[in-house]
Amino acid sequence: MEQLPRIESGIAGLDILLKGGLVAGASYIVQGRPGSGKTIFASQIAFHHAARGGRVLFATLLSETHERLFQFLSTMEFFRRERIGAEMQFVSAFDTLENEGLDEVVKLLRREISRQKASVMVVDGVLNARSRAETSLDTKRFIAELQGHAAFAGCTVLFLTSARLDDGSPEHTMVDGVIELGEELIGSRSIRRLHLRKTRGSGAIPGLHDFEITSHGLVVHPRLESVWGRTASPEAIGTRRESSGVPALDEMLGGGLPSASVTLALGPSGSGKTTLGLHFLSRCSAEEPGLLFGFYETPERLCMKAASLGIDLRGLIASGAVEVLWQTSAERSLDGLGHKLLQAVERRRVRRLMIDSLSGVARASARPERLIDFHAALANELRERHVTTMASWEMNSLFGAEIHAPAPELSSLVDNLLMLRFVEAKADVKRVMGILKVRDSDYDSSLREFSVRGDGIHLGRGFERMASVLSGAATIAGS
Amino acid sequence: MTTILVVDDEFLITDVLAFALEDEGFMVVRASNGKKGLDVLDRERPSLVITDYMMPVMNGVEFAQAIHGRHGEGMPIILMSGAHADLARQSGHLFACIFDKPFVVSEVVDAVIRLVGRPG
């Protein structure tokens, strides 16, 4: 199978979606309402292309002056004023369009492609060309003629338009790709979405993908399940065991957590999930680096909490054995979080990961129905990378017989399930821990009294003579 | 009547300059690129040319060279240059003045008056 030569877009995430970049010599329509980021999108590609030795022709059919455009773009990190007039030429075809019509614009731009030896051309304001054309067929011809000539010269073209052209529009049939930039309001949050509506000759990943506009330009977050965790080898989970950091728990697990497995610790707030995670990370070293991907507690608070358990988290961080990534805001894209997590894992070759909590990750999701696919991809990818993962999941009720477990599908995605609960016994609030599942392994299923002292977690046998412990109100067995 | 030729592919800039110069009493002719500018030059015989640098067909320096080639070096030419001012300054001898974009319109008008006098 032949691979078409590509032009790297330089937009983080987009080249992954496009399987390497824009097809060289192909033409694309980039559509979206005003403010959707089309100009930044095209400029970012243009500056990246120029930085890699390419030549760019930026033609505007708009009334806005180029100087205004430069002022606006100068706030972006990729902007390089010295390239303008050198590798990048900006021409206005507005006057030609107004006075001489579309045919003359085509002639002008054809000449300019040759004169500038352009390998990328941006035509901003194709909507204007459309409003000018007597029938929609005229813009079709305009695009056809221009891209025909560009393709002959090996020049990749981006037509920017704020028109909402639908899939059946004649313009769409003429070009090789259609990229739509959109925005969606979910509650009070606004989420930008990139939609690859048409991609010819590229095997690109279709569908909607979140993106953000930062000072570095666009950052696209491909849907996690569309790029990762697609090849789960059944051998990923090893027969080796890794210590959970709590010797008594290792014993119950039959030697520790299976290497490269994913463990979910369910429990209400204050039941000891983070404490358990800190024990798990206490076994990190330079050879076995760890990561805490957290939402609630700041690194400073975590260090204090660890110190009270006799764990020197500060020292582990200082030596580089543990990294704490604290997510300050919930206003993030679900896929943005997923990619950030996987990048942090990749960067330090992390072997022990604590996600505190997975429900915090889930909260970033605008579409709950996607969560299962997302978590499945994340879990598969972590197993593939031989990361032993512990994740917490916040449960709502403190007491009570009802256990609001996360979706049953989620429980089946993880390899091991631990449960932490509060229980009232003899007018005393105690904490209880039990193992609900260990993949392909026998385990000690007894409920243990979970207590925390200055030297860490203790798992006592305080419930041996009790019944109905999981109801939240334990009774003495037989009474 | 003193005629000024303004050449720029960006119509907003030719408009702004033309209005300001017409207010001073100059006659203004326009062109959207250098090639068209040369035609207008032959036809209208202006006293001074104001040109952009980054334009289709030929850039400001090529345009100025073509004017000097056809009409000798007597014709004063003002260059309006944006990000690429340094490139243009390498050919500074071709121009009576160089303004960086965004420029102050009144300063350009003052420069025109200094070079060709007030319109008679």
Q: What's the mean pLDDT in A285-313? A: 93
Per DSSP, what are the bridge partners of residue A421? Answer: A432
CATH, range A6-222: 3.40.50.300
Mean pLDDT across A453-472: 81
Show Cβ contacts of residue A442 under 8 Å, excluding neighbours closer than 6 positions.
A254
Fold: same for A6-222 and A241-476: yes
CB A89 within 8 A of CB A118: yes
- Tens of pLDDT, residue by residue over B27-83, are 999 999 999 999 999 999 999 999 999 999 999 999 999 999 998 888 999 999 876
Do β-strands A416-424 and A429-438 pair in parallel, antiparallel, or remain unpaired? antiparallel
Q: Report whether A179 contacts A28 (CB < 8 A).
A: yes
Query: What pLDDT band is residue A443 in, cutting at 50, 70 and 90?
Result: very high
Q: Please tell me the predicted confidence (pLDDT) of residue A167.
A: 79
Which 3 state secondary structure label does DSSP give A436? strand
Token pair belonging to B26: 């100059």
Q: pLDDT digit string (tens) for A174-204?
A: 899 999 999 888 777 788 999 998 888 767 8
Decide if B13 touches A, using CB distance below 8 A. yes
> Quick check: A70 and B12 CB within 8 A?
no
Nearest to A84 among B59, B82, B102 (CB): B82
**Domain carrying residue B99:** 3-116
Q: Which residues face A473 on adjacent strands?
A: A424
Q: For residue A56, give Cα distances in angstroms to A177, A224, B50.
A: 19, 33, 26
- DSSP type of residue A23: E
Say what the pLDDT of residue B24 is.
Answer: 94
Residue A135's pLDDT is: 67
Question: Which top CATH class is A241-476?
Answer: alpha beta
- The winner for highest mean pLDDT among A261-270, A275-284, A399-408, B9-18 is A275-284
A362 versus A407: which is more confidently predicted?
A: A362
Interchain CB contact of B68 with A (< 8 Å):
no
For residue A60, the cross-strand partners are A92, A124
Q: How confident is the model at residue B1 (pLDDT cuts 50, 70, 90)?
A: confident
Alpha-carbon distance of A242 to A259, in angstroms, equals 6
Number of compact structural domains in chain B: 1
Q: State the pLDDT confidence band at A93, using cuts at 50, 70 and 90.
A: very high
- pLDDT 10s digits, A50-75: 999 999 999 999 878 898 999 999 99
pLDDT in tens, A121-172: 999 988 777 777 666 668 888 898 998 889 888 999 999 998 888 878 888 8
Q: Is B36 on the interface with A (CB under 8 A)?
A: no
User: Average pLDDT of chain A?
Assistant: 87
From the list A85, A99, A111, the residue facing B83 with the nearest CB is: A85
3-state secondary structure of A103: helix
What mean pLDDT is predicted for residues A37-54? 96
Q: A459 falls in which pLDDT band (50, 70, 90)?
A: very high
- Amino acid A169: pLDDT: 84
Question: What's the pLDDT at A476?
Answer: 78
Residue B72 CB neighbour total at 10 angstroms? 8
CATH number assigned to the domain comprising residue B103? 3.40.50.2300
Interface of A with B (CB under 8 A): 63, 65-67, 70, 81-82, 84-86, 89-96, 98-99, 108, 111-112, 115
In this complex, which of A70, A94, A112 lies closest to B83 when CB atoms are compared? A70
Kindly state whether B24 is in contact with chain A, defined as any CB-CB distance less than 8 angstroms.
no
Is the CB of A92 less than 8 angstroms away from the CB of B102? Answer: no
Mean pLDDT of the region A202-217: 87
For the residues A112-119, what does the mean pLDDT come to? 93
The confidence band for A405, taking pLDDT boundaries of 50, 70 and 90, is low
A322-363: pLDDT as tens digits: 999 998 765 578 898 999 999 999 999 999 999 998 888 887
Mutate to test the interface with B, among A55, A65, A97 (most CBs of B within 10 A): A65
Domain locations in chain A as residue ranges:
6-222, 241-476
CA nearest to A7, candidates A113, A86, A120, A112: A120
Q: How many CB pairs under 8 A join A and B?
A: 61
Give the integer Cα–Cα distance in Å for A173 and A8: 24
For the entire predicted model, the pTM comes to 0.81
Q: How large is the average pLDDT for residues A225-232?
A: 75
Residue B10: list chain A partners with CB under 8 A: 65-66, 92, 94-95
Which residues on chain B are in Cβ contact (under 8 Å) with A91? 9, 54-56
Which of A67, A85, A91 shows the shortest C-beta gap to B9?
A91
Nearest in space to A259 (alpha carbons), one of A387, A375, A370: A387
Token pair in block for residue A73: 């773009």
> Which amino acid, residue A430?
K
> Of all residues in chain A, what percent carry a pLDDT higher than 70?
92
Report the pLDDT averaged over residues A375-402.
84
**Higher confidence at residue A131 or residue A101?**
A101
Give the model's pLDDT for residue B87. 73
Quote the minimal CA–CA distance from B89 to chain A in Å.
13
**Chain A residues closer than 8 Å to B55 by CB:** 91
Q: Is the pLDDT of residue B106 over 80?
A: yes
Between residues A86 and A237, the one the model is more confident about: A86
